[in-house]
Amino acid sequence: MSRRLVCLLIIISILAITNAHAARLKDIAELEGIRENPLSGYGLVVGLNKSGDSGSAQFTVISLANALKSFGITVNPDQIKVGNVAAVMVTSKLLPFAKRGSRIDVTIASIGNAKSLQGGILLLTPLRGPDGNVYAIAQGSVAIGGYTVTAGNDEVSKNHPTVGVIPNGATIEREIPIDFTSVETFYLNLQNPDLKTAATTAKNINEEFREVIAYAKDPTTIAVKIPELDKANPVSFLSKLLDVNVEPEQRAIVVINERTGTIIVGENVRISTVAITHGNLHIEISAQTEVSQPLPLSGGTTQVIENQEVTVTEEKGQLKLVGGVTIGDLIQALNSIGATPRDLITILQAIKRAGALQADLEIM
């Protein structure tokens, strides 16, 4: 493994053991019912330089004949050659609060056997929502961000020439009505459901507005009732609500990408007592429980303290860390003696299989 990957792993392990920071509510939750809506349509791209669909793509031939018929031109489909035309699917997203006349980006993708959409123009294409209604109309020049060059039997391509975009290529014709004035309770859905995060969110909202207006329905949903003074201006209320700071709870998880040697470690990952031998590495993680007695007449209480120790040995070298053992401590110890990311991945998988890794292990 390269030094760059090892350095990256060290940085990640340092970040993993730092304290979590509060996030704005708008960054970790979404308003129920306020979302993007997918749009799609079928269209034709014309003006291609002999890089369109071949005659075997019958749906392109029929589509072109129907398009010409709508202009009052009747043509026998058997007499049409579509080398400069490609059948495409057009997709886009209708953003929340988008208004009639606003413009949105569209993506064009060939569905026939066209070689490239370079230089093509999309003909007028209606974009429909899941309910079958037309919400936007797309048309314009296609930009593919690449090229295909053919000379004899040789062909050179850059990027993906059969997929392109039209920036601001569609005009919204129908809006999705959203009326806040009749809403008395908003529902916030956490992107990462968690009982503690939901409870903390409701608590922080109540503290921010100095009255009990929020409660957690479940690990995902927080119900927020609009205060009486804010019912006349719900938009202002929402702007303040979504700026409330919340410290989300983090899952104890380790994510491993074996292909690149990348390891991502969650903050709350812990390792129980375990001993490992891997190649010429000898790793021992142990724990000792001590009782701390208060001084006489100090009014203190007896505390039980668990001291953990990590020992990593390679040939004659030895590295010892004393304190609460986290996976960050283990990774730092192994990196200090030059262990590769592949070694770390194998060791972590073995620790998890032994039941000593107190976290979920996700392998990509």
270: nearest Cα among 249, 282, 256, 253: 253
Name all domains of the chain by residue range, CATH numbers in brackets. 3-17+251-363 (no CATH), 23-33+179-246 (3.30.1360), 37-172 (no CATH)
On average, the pLDDT of the chain sits at: 79
Query: Reduced to 3 states, what is the DSSP secondary structure of residue 234?
Result: helix
How much of the chain is helix, strand and coil, in % rounded to 5? Answer: 25, 40, 40
How high is the mean pLDDT in each 10-residue block of the chain (364 residues)? 51 47 87 89 92 83 86 82 90 90 94 89 94 94 75 63 93 87 89 91 92 92 91 89 89 80 76 66 57 56 56 48 55 67 77 79 80
pLDDT tens digits, residue range 36-47? 899 999 999 999
d(CA 343, CA 5): 13
Helical residues (DSSP H) of the chain, grouped into ranges: 3-16, 25-28, 58-70, 195-209, 234-241, 327-336, 341-353
b/e map of 21-51 (b: 16 or more CB within 10 Å)?
eeeebeebbbbeeeeeeebebebbbbbbeeb
pLDDT tens digits, residue range 161-188? 899 999 999 999 998 888 787 888 999 9
